[in-house]
Amino acid sequence: MIKKFIDEKLLPFLFMQPTHPMRFNELMKANKLLVDNMLLEGSIPGVKLRLGRVYLFMIFVWNLILIPLAMIFHKILAKIDCHIAIMMAVFFTLLFFGILSIFKQWAMERMAEKMIKKAWSIHFPYCDYETFHEKVAKFYGDALEKGVTGANIEMYIMNALSLEK
């Protein structure tokens, strides 16, 4: 249920998605980056993070958590020294931006995987993503090392897959 909400509601709210499908070379590059755990931001064409919406979502979630906690501990917080309150405000601000950064990275990886799976179903209709994505990334890396370029990369990977099965 939560996964469905994230994939169908939250990610489309946070990202601008491309109207055209991913090309084969773009798919291979994005898949390789995802398998190698590299940064994906900016590497998937047409996918753009809507930063204002990310801030709005995080502020909403942050307040959803902090306001009830502040109400519960209000009497204790009212009695503390103002210097401690300032230090707590700085700490919670740092915590907010740290969590925001981690959330942006997680959302980008989740959106990238969603877009890669969508493009995978177009370019590899007979190969399951979960089974073959790591092998295809390896074949793509091998093709780049051997100097294979352009449309020949697709032929190289398809040949390697046919020999693998």
Q: What residue spans define the domains of the chain?
A: 2-124
Task: Record the pTM.
Answer: 0.82
Task: Name the pLDDT band for 165 (thresholds 50, 70, 90).
Answer: low
What pLDDT digit, counting tens, does each position of 111-153 carry?
A: 988 988 999 999 988 888 998 899 999 999 999 998 888 888 8
Beta bridge partners of 16: 48
Contact 19, 46 (CB under 8 A): yes
Q: What is the 3-class SS of the chain, one letter each residue? A: CHHHHHHHHHHHHHEECCCCCCCHHHHHHHHHHHHCCCCCCCCCCCCEECHHHHHHHHHHHHHHHHHHHHHHCHHHHHHCCHHHHHHHHHHHHHHHHHHHHHHHHHHHHHHHHHHHHHHHHHHCCCCCHHHHHHHHHHHHHHHHHCCCCCHHHHHHHHHHHHHHC
Confirm if 136 and 29 have CB atoms less than 8 A apart. Answer: no
Mean pLDDT of 40-68: 88
3-31 pLDDT tens trace: 889 888 999 999 998 888 888 888 999 99
58 contacts 96 by C-beta, under 8 angstroms: yes
Nearest-Å Rg of the Cα atoms of the chain is 22
